[in-house]
Structure 1
């Protein structure tokens, strides 16, 4: 989730299956009868406001999706090509850009939040041809940052964004600005990753699980192999979706307050605390001589190490354990599941700790996080310049994976920011969904 510079990536021959477009509102159920499969015979071009165009010519469509996260706002501009109305379109290109901080940082100045979105819209205007603006859908979905805010402050931010959208030259669908349900966030990411890796087309149904660690929340989604996993899980942890003539019964949950930044606050005892202007929140996960102001979600905290206390991995682990113990559910099976793709702060902190390369990513076992967490915490001075929070963050990730979700130490994680040159997030899946919802404009 670190800030990135603009970049475009060509994605030849990545087929966008319209069967994937529709499941969030129609195919996603919790402990409900199997949803019916809809008719997806309509071409993508028929789902959008029409512009005159020569017969038999290729049609190019664009979609603009804003991911308003707790630590930053990101824009994804997707380009789709449909050469024949009888054939499925192709995902051709993604333009991605992000800025910090997130919308929630402007809880008391919503106009500034709207300004950041207006600035990011410049990326869309540069990417989408002017003649296509009127038929290019513009959507923003906010995640944990706004879910953690008081409802009136979150609503004020959404209204500012809506005003910016309404003033823009793009097509603004109904419900174009909203706070996304945490469960949908996890499932959308699962669909996106498995679509891009080709697992949804495999007859073996050997899919990959996803782990997304944001600033305010964290998600886990995978396809269980054991019926005991489904039977022993709370009903709202199981979601059934229909796609490609198959029904997938997924284990999925979003933990609000267990994202990396919120977990820092919880470990420090600062989450929901009062007297922030004079209180100092101390931790053995921080360097002894460290003391500074740190902001998240529009609030500023004074945090420090313990000058005359002890530091190290064991003490830090006990501090972060309270953030996950008894809160995060452990699925019955995790040792026999397929490879998990882990992204967002899992990726960023692995890079910061020197476990993987920022450009290439890489495969790690859970034990690799544990080993490096011990090294970082027991030699804080060495890693202080990289980040004074690195010990706390690496220990929290280790604790979340082991004592939270219950992963085995040899569980393999694929750390990545992109799959087939597309950002690993829920944004592409959400774009699919909004295209399908636009059928009312045919």
Structure 2
């Protein structure tokens, strides 16, 4: 039985007339409101022609699968919706780890859909789109295996009570990943409108790929790109943006570890041991990425430390990462994903609030970690390699000055820093990225 607000008031009057005490009436009211659950609108629900809508975005990354459940408030009087809330949850490993057991990939998505069911009101399920975009983890897989995983996810979506739009499950290209992350961060920082003169750049370091995206101030930055692929245009909220953006597949943190170790595409994994000066001399262990397991170790007969490590990681960066003509000092760059995680692991920033760091801070801590590995084992045996790679990527790769300040962040206004919000806005607004 559905009870409207007038019915509730009438019942309360009847209870009072029946001679129940005020305390008893209060108890009865609580029982009633509890029993009818969510039929009453929440006090925070907006009035005057605003509407609430929901969206579910899955980020199928190389090292984990994440779900973002967004609650938006949209008023007819304004063009930009207001993001009211995000519910976020993640599961490791990524779907690519289940390349040979797609049923497990389906199980992962089913588990995460439970978060969506708890967050989105039941009455809104059939109107709430559910979308999955896969990134470098699936881009690095053979096409047939990647497609099998996507098909399994599609089956799970079709079983769910949510709205499954056309093209709801796909692999996203790297350019879109960079642009949509830029849209996310500029939306969250209030820079995404027609009057904007200042925007923020983004640096995203995933497991399989890494992205740089910013709005150039100088025409030469666009004119001096090595390929047309480095420039992208899109329209949003009656504005057209032309961005410098590129995604480097194989230069994410985990893929860079493989390349540094000389294990990228290597054969005979069951008997080979991949050594590096970036690892503690006495270290030896198994390490898994993308569904493969590798035997890795330090070099017990050689030397370890920052200088040798830098030479190793430089091979992964030099000649691959293009240096933009312009990296303006007065442009703020937000760095997230593994940039943030490793800065936390190295004790450079707080794990909740993040913070501002200069590029030289990564370099200084990389030296300290690498040169003290023997006496003081780091929290992760790969910390020296990872910190050195990040330093090399920023300095010798993109060409940032050591004094450049980066904003290290995991969340902005309690929302995850990632491309997922931008992808959700793209779904609703069709940004015409080209």
**Which TM bucket (shorter chain)?**
0.7 to 0.9
Match of 2:270 among 270, 277, 289: 277
The aligned counterpart of 2:428 is 435
- 1:157 paired to 2:149: yes
Show the counterpart of 1:115.
Answer: 107
Secondary structure at the counterpart of residue 192 of structure 2: helix
2:92 is matched with 100
User: In the alignment, is the contact (CA less than 8 A) between 2:362 and 2:390 conserved in 1?
Assistant: yes
Of 403, 411, 417, 2:404 maps to 411
In 1, Cα distance between equivalents of 2:52 and 2:404? 42
Deviation at 1:422, TM superposition (A): 1.0
Alignment match of 2:390 (pick from 388, 393, 397): 397
Where structure 1 has 5 or more consecutive residues not aligned to the other structure, the ranges are 1-54
Is the aligned partner of 1:290 residue 2:283? yes
1:435 CA displacement: 2.1
Cα displacement string for residues 55-114 of structure 1 (whole angstroms, at most 9, x for unaligned residues): 9775321100000000000000001123x5444542111000001000000011111011
Q: Which has the higher contact order (CA 8 A, sep 6+)?
A: 1
Shift of 1:244: 4.0
- Write the mapping of 1:341-356 to structure 2, written as runs, cut at 5 A: 341-356=334-349
> In structure 1, what is the Cα distance between the partners aligned to 2:276 and 2:338?
21
- Listed as ranges, the matches of 1:37-436 within 5 Å are 58-82=50-74, 84-88=75-79, 89-201=81-193, 203=195, 205-233=197-225, 234-381=227-374, 384-436=377-429
- Which sections of structure 2, spanning at least 5 residues, go unmatched? 1-46
Q: Deviations over 1:297-320 (max 9, x none)?
A: 000000000111100000000000
CA positional deviation for 1:131: 1.1
Alignment length, in residue pairs?
Answer: 383
**Distance change (3 Å), C-alpha of 1:402 and 1:191:** same
Q: For residues 382 and 150 of structure 1, what CA distance do their matches in structure 2 show?
A: 42
In the TM superposition, what is the alpha-carbon distance from 1:226 to its structure 2 partner?
1.5
Contact residue 224 and residue 325 of structure 2 kept, 8 A: yes
Deviations 1:11-70 (A, max 9, x none): xxxxxxxxxxxxxxxxxxxxxxxxxxxxxxxxxxxxxxxxxxxx9775321100000000
Give per-residue Cα distances to partners, 1:174-195, cap 9 Å, x unaligned: 0000000100000000011011
Between the aligned partners of 2:50 and 2:334, the Cα distance in structure 1 is 35
| Secondary structure of the corresponding residue to residue 93 of structure 1 | strand
Alpha-carbon distance in 1 for matches of 2:400, 2:378: 31
Partners in 1 of 2:375 and 2:353 — Cα distance? 25
Alpha-carbon distance in structure 2 between the residues aligned to 1:268 and 1:72: 22
Task: Decide whether aligned partners of structure 1 residues 382 and 426 sit closer, same or farther in structure 2, where only a CA change above 3 A counts.
Answer: farther
**1:107-132: CA deviation from partner (whole Å, max 9, x where unpaired):** 11111011101101110011011111
Name the CA distance, whole Å, in 1 between partners of 2:241 and 2:430. 21
CA spacing shift, 1:56–1:374, aligned 2, 3 Å: closer
- Which shifted more, 270-279 or 429-438? 429-438
- In 2, Cα distance between the equivalents of 1:56 and 1:401? 48
Whole-Å separation in 2 of the counterparts to 1:412 and 1:437: 33
- Cα distance in structure 2, aligned partners of 1:317 and 1:253: 24
Choose 1 or 2 for highest CA Rg. Answer: 2
Pairwise CA distance, 1:209: 0.6
TM-score, length-normalised on structure 1?
0.84
Q: Note the aligned Cα RMSD (angstroms).
A: 1.7
C-alpha displacement at 1:384, in angstroms? 2.8
**2:194·2:237 contact (CA, 8 Å) conserved in 1?**
no
CA deviation after TM superposition for structure 1 residue 243, in Å: 3.1
Residue 264 of structure 2 aligns to a residue whose secondary structure is: coil
Q: Which moved more, 1:327-336 or 1:167-176?
A: 327-336
Deviation at 1:420, TM superposition (A): 1.4
TM-score, normalised to structure 2, is: 0.85
